[in-house]
A and B are shown apart, each in its own frame.
Chain A
Amino acid sequence: MAAIGLPQLEEAQDLTALVDDLRVLFEDPDFKLASEIKRTTGKPIVGNFPVYSPVELFHAAGAHPVGLVGAGNQIEIAHADSRFQSFVCSVIKSTLELGLTDRLRDFDGMVFHSICDPARNLASVFKRNFPDQWVEYIHFPQNLVSESSVDYLESEYRRILDRLSELTGKQVTNDDVNQSITLYNRARSLMRDLYAFRRDNPHVLTTKDLYTVVRAGHILTVEEHIRLLEHVQRLVQTKQGHERDHIRVILVGSFCEQPSLDLINAMEEAGLDILDDDFMLGRRWFTEDVRADGDGVRSLAEAYRDRSVISSVKHDSRRHKGEELVAQVRSAKADAVIVSVPKFCEPGLFDYAIYRRALLEANIPHLFVEYEEKMWLFDKVQTEVETFVESLLLD
């Protein structure tokens, strides 16, 4: 790899090698690639905390949105645990630690969302600790039954656009928004295709590889991410794989704080073919294309209500998460479910009780595992997964 950036794709014919290059980009706790993009494009960088974020608006306003999902197991938390207690999940602390150790110095702004109570308080703590930084908080509507929720969200998005204009100095037109929607639609559609490919060929496109390619999109520009996704799409068509004696599972619960790539790999190696998962939902949260020929802001607000993925941090009284999970298992012809939840993640832990009831009722086996992004050794999880796999294979 020559400079910090997307590897030369023409030369990258081996997916495994490409993935190794890519992981360096997003595991870098100093965000050198983001700084490089800022330097070369002149765009201000805005960090998006998980889960959902209207990245199209940031793009349209001339900013570069970078998904900021903590620091994995790359840094020690030495300062942030004086601000957040031991019973608060790691991603809250590691994200703050990045700020307190000056690793976000090239970031011009931060945006947080109404996903949970700690994330909301983190927005305030960021404001107090970094008073000069542009910090925003988006309240997503939770009453999706009411028609008024779309109007509300549209107004919230317009407020964010105004605030972004203060940051970038750009007046955003409807065409700008629609163009951004078109780009992100393209990226999402490619990711959906890769997800479908992985579901049918989990031994060819592993979850570790798919995850890396998707995660890279949290730091690359969307244009580069599209190039990468297209390239990977070509690569997997000709890639060979060996069928494995694995069980076929759906993985849920990892929508916010992420397990390290090595942990994902360890779970796969322990005998899982992961057919679907909820890793890195932020950039693939619409299940269909968003309309790109209308009022762009309005289209995004409508898409949130009508065609976005459900997760533990999105509440929609029209839908039942347990039933949706069971349907997902059935349609993917999965054998089992892995509920993998970050330690102290209250939304994920609450939903586990719902999943558990639904899965028991439907007679679908499941394994519950807890992880922390900062985990370094995975013996315990690996043993749990292996035992679970054995129990199913021996049945």
Chain B
Amino acid sequence: MLYRAGVDVGSTQTKAVIVDETGTMVAKVLVDTGSNVVKAAERAFVQAAEQAGLQREQVDYVVGTGYGRFNVTFGNDQITEISCHAKGIAHVNPNVRTVIDIGGQDAKAIKIDETGDVKDFVMNDKCAAGTGRFLGNSAEVLNLSLDEIGERSLQAKVPVRLSTVCTVFVETDILSHLALGRSVENILGGVHSAVAARVVALARRVGVEREVALTGGVSRNVGMVHALEKHLEVPIYVSPDAHFMGALGAALFANERAIAVAG
């Protein structure tokens, strides 16, 4: 049996996935990227090989993806995370036509066909509104961890209306709401709703077609999933491995390429 890997180097986390020739996932690993991007890629890959009980030589093709894709020094190829997310999600759910990926620094909407080919995509502009960073900043102001804000936002009775979606000014906005006596839950409801509105606007640019999947780190945030469903008025598919979709897609590309090279 031959094995291939995908390494997705993101700004905060690095993910590695190993698949066998049939495309079955045999290992998945997530590490913090930290300051040394090259080492993070290496570490994730080595740990994934260990998890699968493989010698690194048994993995004959590696594709790097994500912002740090050119730092996967042992990679045979680099492919953008847009193509990889599409590929990965189509593999786990071929009915998906629209992929929403919310990462730390950017948000994207990708329109795909049943084979995972990218038909169209858009990414957020310079403005960081609608990205994980907006959520992160909000959590920070409220002195909460990123893991708890989603859950708590669900308890919002009257979500507040933010006067800005600017990542820089959200802090002042939240403080004003606190001063007005609004509950943390209502504020979080407003924060999630604001991000969802931006992301949905992005998704409308490629045209929202069912099914809609959410991938990337923010997919673990239940509040975000809920807010998106509310704004889109359609259910959202979240794979249990949603944050590994980029790495999985990269591994699947590695599989295809290795076969092509072998001729």
Quick check: do A and B touch in the complex, using CB within 8 A? yes
- Interface residues in chain A, defined as those with a beta carbon under 8 Å from any beta carbon in chain B: 73, 76-79, 81-82, 85-87, 374-377, 379-380
Chain B nearest CB: distance from A129 CB in Å?
14
* Docked CA distance A375–B169 (Å): 12
Given A376-B161, A376-B162, is A85 in contact with B125 using a C-beta cutoff of 8 Å? Answer: yes
Q: Indicate if the CB atoms of A82 and B205 lie closer than 8 Å.
A: yes
Q: Which of B163, B197, B204 contacts A376 (CB 8 A)?
A: B163
A residues near B202, Cβ cutoff 8 Å? 82
Q: Indicate if the CB atoms of A81 and B201 lie closer than 8 Å.
A: yes
Q: Indicate if the CB atoms of B204 and A375 lie closer than 8 Å.
A: no
Q: Indicate if the CB atoms of A374 and B163 lie closer than 8 Å.
A: yes
The chain A residue sitting closest to B161, CB to CB, is A376
The chain B residue sitting closest to A77, CB to CB, is B201
Q: Which of A79, A86, A379 contacts B204 (CB 8 A)?
A: A79
- List residues 155-200 of chain B with CB under 8 A from any CB of chain A: 161-164, 169, 172-173, 176-177, 197, 200
B127 at the A interface (CB under 8 A): yes
Q: Can you list the 3 inter-chain pairs with the closest CB atoms, starting with the nearest?
A: A376-B163, A86-B127, A82-B205
Given A79-B201, A82-B205, A87-B126, 13 more contacts at CB 8 Å? Answer: A77-B201, A78-B197, A79-B204, A81-B201, A375-B164, A376-B161, A376-B162, A376-B163, A377-B176, A377-B177, A379-B172, A379-B176, A380-B169
Identify 19 residue pairs between A and B in the complex whose beta-carbon atoms are under 8 Å apart, listed by A's number: A77-B201, A78-B200, A78-B204, A79-B201, A81-B201, A82-B202, A82-B204, A85-B125, A86-B125, A86-B127, A86-B129, A87-B126, A375-B163, A375-B164, A376-B162, A377-B173, A379-B172, A379-B176, A380-B172
B residues near A78, Cβ cutoff 8 Å? 197, 200-201, 204
User: Which of A77, A81, A85 neighbours the largest number of chain B CB atoms within 10 Å of its CB?
Assistant: A81
Interface flags for B198-212 (1: CB within 8 Å of A; 0: not) read 001110110000000
The chain B residue sitting closest to A85, CB to CB, is B125
Chain B nearest CB: distance from A376 CB in Å?
4
* Docked CA distance A322–B22 (Å): 73
B residues near A82, Cβ cutoff 8 Å? 201-202, 204-205
The chain A residue sitting closest to B163, CB to CB, is A376
Interface flags for B114-139 (1: CB within 8 Å of A; 0: not) read 00000000000111010000000000
B residues near A87, Cβ cutoff 8 Å? 126
The chain B residue sitting closest to A76, CB to CB, is B197
* Docked CA distance A77–B177 (Å): 21
How large, as a class, is the contact surface on chain B? Answer: 10 to 19
A residues near B177, Cβ cutoff 8 Å? 377
* Docked CA distance A79–B207 (Å): 12
Chain B nearest CB: distance from A77 CB in Å?
8
Q: Indicate if the CB atoms of B126 and A377 lie closer than 8 Å.
A: no
A residues near B173, Cβ cutoff 8 Å? 377
The chain A residue sitting closest to B165, CB to CB, is A86
A residues near B169, Cβ cutoff 8 Å? 380
A residues near B200, Cβ cutoff 8 Å? 78
Chain B nearest CB: distance from A266 CB in Å?
12
The chain A residue sitting closest to B202, CB to CB, is A82
- List residues 69-102 of chain B with CB under 8 A from any CB of chain A: none
Q: Which of A73, A76, A86, A380 contacts B126 (CB 8 A)?
A: A86
B residues near A379, Cβ cutoff 8 Å? 172, 176
* Docked CA distance A73–B164 (Å): 11
* Docked CA distance A297–B122 (Å): 48
* Docked CA distance A79–B204 (Å): 8
Chain B nearest CB: distance from A248 CB in Å?
29
B residues near A374, Cβ cutoff 8 Å? 163
B residues near A73, Cβ cutoff 8 Å? 163
* Docked CA distance A87–B176 (Å): 25
A residues near B126, Cβ cutoff 8 Å? 86-87
Given A78-B197, A85-B125, A86-B126, is A377 in contact with B163 using a C-beta cutoff of 8 Å? Answer: yes
A residues near B172, Cβ cutoff 8 Å? 379-380
B residues near A76, Cβ cutoff 8 Å? 197
The chain B residue sitting closest to A81, CB to CB, is B201
* Docked CA distance A380–B173 (Å): 9
B residues near A85, Cβ cutoff 8 Å? 125
Chain B nearest CB: distance from A388 CB in Å?
18
* Docked CA distance A73–B173 (Å): 15
* Docked CA distance A79–B126 (Å): 18
A residues near B201, Cβ cutoff 8 Å? 77-79, 81-82
* Docked CA distance A376–B177 (Å): 11
The chain A residue sitting closest to B231, CB to CB, is A78
Chain B nearest CB: distance from A183 CB in Å?
39
Chain B nearest CB: distance from A276 CB in Å?
28
* Docked CA distance A377–B176 (Å): 8
B residues near A377, Cβ cutoff 8 Å? 163, 173, 176-177
Chain A nearest CB: distance from B96 CB in Å?
21
Chain A nearest CB: distance from B199 CB in Å?
11
* Docked CA distance A87–B125 (Å): 10
The chain A residue sitting closest to B173, CB to CB, is A377
The chain A residue sitting closest to B177, CB to CB, is A377
B residues near A81, Cβ cutoff 8 Å? 201
Chain A nearest CB: distance from B157 CB in Å?
19
